[in-house]
Structure 1
Amino acid sequence: MLVEIDGLRLSIGATPILHDVHLALSAGEIFGLLGPNGAGKSTTIATAIGLLKPDAGHIRMLGKDPQVFANEIHRHLGVLPEQNGFYGWMSAEDYLAFFAAMNGLSLSRNEIRKRLDTVGLHTRARQPIGTYSHGMRQRLGLARALIANPDLLILDEPTNGLDPRGRREVHDILLELAGKGVGILLCTHLLDDVERLCQRVGIIVGGRTVAEGTIAGLVRSEHRLARFRLKLASDPTQTDEANVTVVAREGEWWVVDLNPALTPDKAWSELLSHGWAITEIRREGGGLEDLYLTLTEGSAA
């Protein structure tokens, strides 16, 4: 297990911040850490990596206590904070070389170029960071997090500000890393990212974990199946697909509940392959979004 947190409590001064946080993350897993602003996500991460000392609870990062083995843990850890520090006059190549040296690493130019190639910046290696778009800076921040070939990545809003193509490319990078055994703790407000990347999530509200588990399990147990309205050009040859439950038919529109074990894009792909001539898709509600909104109702946005 790469991350184990149970019963985490922490106060800053006389103010309680975390009351009961728990989560677990394994190698090769992308875990979504969700919650409204001020819920305690950043404090949880800071405590997990040893920057804050907890009042109570059990924490193990890479199997070790971060209060005792912080330096050793950090050598196998990559972090992308929401607010990145970039130096506009540096090239991306020099920037990564600088951060590698700060981490006690001596990387060749070829090794640095490989990090940039991973995030699609190899053709911009010598370009000043000051000329980079927001999306390019996000990619560079991810490359910086990958400097030490970490076993564990902690990413805060990694696709923030990216256009749909850029988001999809970052998704593909993260899925490839997870496929190689890297564990990824993903903090984001973009539930579409979570539904595509994560099997398991934890939702924090008011410094307390209010839900943790697989998306499919949580959605099913809370009766929050994702409901969609599909417009079809013709009747499907069969309507007993395992991945959807037909709720109603209204002319050329079919109302269906989606199997929570599948992401929507995979479900649509399978339905198309089985003769469903889908021409338009509208979301009706339910799913992770509905569950999240219900659990965080009344909390800060």
Structure 2
Amino acid sequence: MNVMTITTMAPTTPTTPATPSTLAPRRFTGIAAMLLRRSFLVLLAGVVLASLVGPWLIHADPYTQNLLQRMQEPVWSADGSWVHVFGTDHLGRDVLARLLYGVRVSALIGVSVALMGGAIGTTLGVLAGYFGGNVDRAISFLITARLSLPIILVALAVVSMFGTSLFIVVMVLGLLLWERYALVSRTMAASLRNAEFVTASRIQGCSHWQIMWHDILPNLFTNLLIVGTIDAALAITLEASLSFLGLGVPPPMPSLGLMIAEGKDNILFQPSLVVIPSVVLFLLVLCVNRCGEYLRARQAKD
């Protein structure tokens, strides 16, 4: 007698296709991220514009000392006034005026260091990636040697030996912050040296320098610009650290790190002398980094 076994299968629930309502949160997240990146761009433009135009709009001098008006509170405090919106420091200097000039100094250092490091690193990276062989090995050794050096310790040693000045700070940081450019340009140049348009230029009789300048470098611009935002933010942070330790921009030149160092002695009596330049430094570095992320997102979309 045969026993028939009947197996029952559980009913499968059909999968519902994605509807616009299920895709709305992801789309909203993308729009919110885009708006957030653009808001950082607008904020960075506003900070830089204020540092450029602000000194002509306010009548306070960042170097003028007035001991009779020292340690005045910001305008939002009970004893504050609109004459000194952010108050005055321990020497009676206007904090807002020093902030505007300090942002200008930080932006100048960030851009100068990024350009200097970009020129050094891109030149070495393109040479290594294009020629390869012994040239690549020699430049790779230089990159490895640079990566083994701690930036802040080398900068402290050099600045303590040669003194503090704006020129020395830019030169030291520019000679230390170039390895990212070299790594990026080396990798991309090695991938482009056998491309069809490069081969066509060789057939036409173009020299190596013409090929590197006209064919390879234009294809590296966007990636190098992204690296430049990272190094500019790092240079601003390093300059603030050196100025905080007394080895950066020499006083009385306004600097965000120097303002924090000068205000730390009175942090219990007037915390705004430390909080305000710290917040401005944080926003400046954050906006520069976010601009780099915005450029990376645009490049990935294209």
TM-score category of the 2 structures, normalised to the smaller one: under 0.3
TM-score normalised to structure 2 length: 0.23
TM-score normalised to structure 1 length: 0.23
Larger radius of gyration: 2
